[in-house]
Chains A and B, each alone.
Chain A
Amino acid sequence: MRKEKIDKTPARLDFLQSFTGLILALFITGHIMFEASILISNEMMYKVTIMFEGYYFFGEKYPGIISFLAAAISVIFVIHAGIAMKKIPSSYRNYKVIKNHIQGMKHEDSSLWMVQVITGFMMFFMGSVHLYIMMSQPSDIGPFASSSRVVDEFMGPLYFMLLISVVSHAFIGLYRLAMKWGFMEGKNTKVSRARFKFLMKAMIAIYIVVGLSSLAKYTYIGMTHDFSDGVKYKSQTIKMENH
């Protein structure tokens, strides 16, 4: 029956798209929550920042760790985007076909896929800007530095659009991953699917509320704080030797 060796690439690409997406989605769930530490206090956000800079492990801050993390996420981001491009309608004919299909069907999961295409496309650009800034200016993260970036460097509008698109994309993506690979599939798959979908919607709502609240707090600090001393935060409890 079979004469030639099978081409394993399609399977590997499909898996790699799912796997990179899973890593990015999990990363985002942590990222937005850590960032929301500003809602507790400036001091808390500062502690989270220096934790990622390695302070609690090495006794000193190494912002290079942030650069390295941002670079690693960038690589995964590019791989994910590159493979996912196969799925984006690349001709007007195909775009029209899928748009008519989705409008005619009035089917939630088909529409969710279109949301993925649109939010994914938005992130090609907005995600890249954000990642590059994190790579190039890793030491400018903190209660005041980040607030200054949001307000004085006009990153607020970009963060707002990025938040909406990344949260939708990540949780719709996680739901679709579960459907795609049959993850934690119950005996009655219709029930487990409905549960996953509920979880997806709940998480989108929670993360958008949390994300918008922290963005509002950064904006508030950025507008009210006096930056004449610079953007560095001076902790009341942690004394840096080199500062």
Chain B
Amino acid sequence: MSESKKQRVLKISILRFDPHDPEDFPHMETFEVEEADGMTLFIALNEIREHHDNSLKFDFVCRAGICGSCSMLVNGRPTLACRTLTAKLDEKFTLAPLPLFELIGDLSVYTGKWMRGLNERLETWIHDKEEELNVDKLEEKMEPALADEIYELDRCVECGCCVAGCGTAKMNPYFVGAVGLNKIARYQLDPRDKRSDDDYYELVGNEDGVFGCMTLLGCEDVCPKDLPLQSKIAYLRRMMLKNTL
């Protein structure tokens, strides 16, 4: 790389709105930021907050694609800001908060509230049907291949990208989204969870669950963790159908 290479000046348009300020209304605001080598959106947004406007709201915790806090729309597509290199984007691009989730302000949304509701609704924990918890009991052994398969699905960080990228979820606010279906697939695989196929059917065997999915595959294509969502939803669909035969 040549020393004299001129850095680009990024023109970042951000959808800004503070729902708690009755005077405010949603509007676009453009900031100019000089690009640096290896710059991520996380770095660019901090530049803006430091040098342009300290009132800009956005979420970050881990900066490494693990916590799932920094999901936002980049040019209309949901993704994690900390894993998006500005070099991969044009000079001008837009940022907006994830739709469907409660807006805290600017780019900050309350995904946690939605996810908690989902987890309570789908009861995403092991149901062992034992009356009393026995902490001394040894856990049953599991095949490493199965453990790997479950672990693969457990990598979900609940960032909300699959929900924001889902046309079905946009039209049906009760739809569980790929995040919910993935969790059911995960617990269904787990031999420690003693729920029957009928129990799972009761949870997602309807149009707010797997049979509402219209296979637009937005979830599969935007998932920042590359979870096998298309394949797992297809698996659930087959399993649910088999259960009705």
Contact = CB atoms under 8 A, between A and B. Distances in A.
A144 B124 CA distance: 66
Most buried by A among B77, B170, B171, B235: B171
A89 B171 contact: yes
A40 to B, nearest CB: 38
B50 interface: no
B46 interface: no
A135 to B, nearest CB: 32
B241 A15 contact: yes
A2 B234 contact: no
Contacts of B205: 6-7, 10-11
B92 interface: no
Contact of B216 (A10, A113, A185): A113
Interface in B226-245: 228, 230-231, 234-235, 237-238, 240-241, 243-244
Contacts of B49: none
A106 interface: yes
Contact of B211 (A1, A2, A11): A11
A106 to B, nearest CB: 7
**What's the dominant secondary structure at chain A's contact region?**
helix
Interface string B209-236: 0010111111001100000101100110
Contact of A6 (B195, B198, B241): B198
Contacts of A131: none
Contacts of B77: 104-107
A94 interface: yes
A1 B195 contact: yes
B198 A179 contact: no
B158 to A, nearest CB: 20
A181 interface: yes
B140 interface: no
Contacts of A102: 167
Contact of B234 (A94, A104, A180): A180
A176 interface: yes
Nearest to B77: A105
Contacts of B238: 181-182
A189 B228 contact: yes
B199 A14 contact: no
A63 B148 CA distance: 60
Interface in A74-129: 86-87, 89, 94, 97-98, 101-107, 109-110, 113
A181 B167 contact: no
Given A10-B207, A11-B244, A176 B234 contact: no
A109 B206 contact: no
A193 B218 CA distance: 14
B76 interface: yes
B149 interface: no
A94 to B, nearest CB: 5
Interface in B117-156: 127
Contact of B231 (A87, A107, A189): A189
B53 interface: no
A12 B244 contact: yes
B165 interface: yes
B147 to A, nearest CB: 19
A101 B235 contact: no
Closest 10 CB pairs of A and B: A182-B234, A104-B76, A8-B244, A109-B217, A10-B211, A110-B216, A11-B244, A14-B211, A189-B231, A180-B215
Given A6-B244, A13-B211, A180-B213, 20 more contacts: A1-B199, A2-B198, A2-B199, A7-B206, A8-B244, A10-B207, A11-B241, A12-B244, A86-B207, A87-B214, A89-B171, A94-B171, A98-B171, A104-B77, A106-B75, A107-B218, A176-B215, A182-B230, A182-B235, A182-B237
Interface of B: 73, 75-77, 127, 165, 167, 170-171, 195-196, 198-199, 201-202, 205-207, 211, 213-218, 221-222, 228, 230-231, 234-235, 237-238, 240-241, 243-244
17 contacts: A2-B196, A2-B198, A6-B201, A6-B202, A8-B244, A13-B211, A14-B237, A89-B171, A101-B170, A102-B167, A107-B77, A109-B218, A110-B216, A176-B215, A181-B237, A182-B237, A193-B230
